Every structure is written in C-alpha cells, then in structure tokens.
Amino acid sequence: MTNAILVYYSMVSRNCLKRMLRSHGIEVYPISGRAPNATETVRKYPTNVVVIDRDVADISVTQAVRQIAQILPQSLIFTATANDQRAEVYRNGRRIGSVNVEEILHFAAVQPME
C-alpha cells in the first residue's frame, strides 16, 4: 500500500478525500493545513505522495504546493477535490499534468524520482 500525506482545510474534505484515497489503496495520514504547525508536521512524515485539498476558496493552493515542494522536494504533489475525479499533479512546485484520482497510486508508482 502506498502512503500519502493529505493536507486538508475542512473536515468534510478530509473525510471525503481520505475515504476516496483509501478506496484506491492509498494509506492516508491527514494533516490540517490550517494548523499553526502544519509545515513542521509535514516534515515529520516524509513521503513520495502528498495530496492537497483544493476545495477551498480562502487558501492559495499554489502557495501550499510551493511550500510542500520546498519541504519534500522529491514528492509528487496532487491537488484534488472530493467531488471531482481529476487531480492536478506537481513535481518540484510545477504542474506536470493531471490524472484521474484512481490513477494517483499508479502514477506515483511509475513516476521516476529525481
């Protein structure tokens, strides 16, 4: 099973995304992006896969992607919403494409690490 960090901004998104990712064989460690120590917590759980909740209006997801990319430069970062089956994919803070949510596991497994 692949492990992933889930950075979420609401409990509704957390629960929906966690359930969706687990149904696709991804073990999820959720971290509240609103917590004052969120970046410190991300550092404690290095992983090759990070999923960021992009279903928020008051958060700059682009900024969140950049921050995570600085902390975990080798990770693939996916931004996803609970009601959309597509996820945007980032490497080193830059968008490299999009995948269906169920493809996150496969995409992360075959994407070469730099």
The domain that contains 45 carries what CATH number? 3.40.50.2300
Chain-centroid distance, C-alpha 63: 13
Task: Give residue 111's pLDDT.
Answer: 54
Domains in the chain, number: 1
Phi first, then psi, for residue 13 (nearest 5°) are -65, -40
Collapsing DSSP to helix, strand or coil, 87 comes out as strand
Task: Give residue 55's pLDDT.
Answer: 83
CA distance linking residue 31 with residue 40, whole number of Å? 10
CA distance linking residue 86 with residue 114, whole number of Å? 24
Instruction: Give pTM, 2 decimals.
Output: 0.85
Containing domain of residue 89, as a range?
A: 2-110
Could you say which DSSP state residue 54 is in?
-
pLDDT per residue rounded down to tens, the chain (114 residues): 678 899 999 999 899 989 988 887 888 999 999 999 998 999 988 888 899 998 888 888 889 999 999 999 888 999 988 788 889 999 999 999 999 877 887 776 655 544
Identify residue 85 by its one-letter amino acid code. Q
Q: Which residues, 6+ apart, have CB-to-CB distance to 23 below 8 Å?
A: none
CA distance linking residue 22 with residue 38, whole number of Å? 22
Task: Give residue 114's pLDDT.
Answer: 46
Task: Give residue 26's pLDDT.
Answer: 84
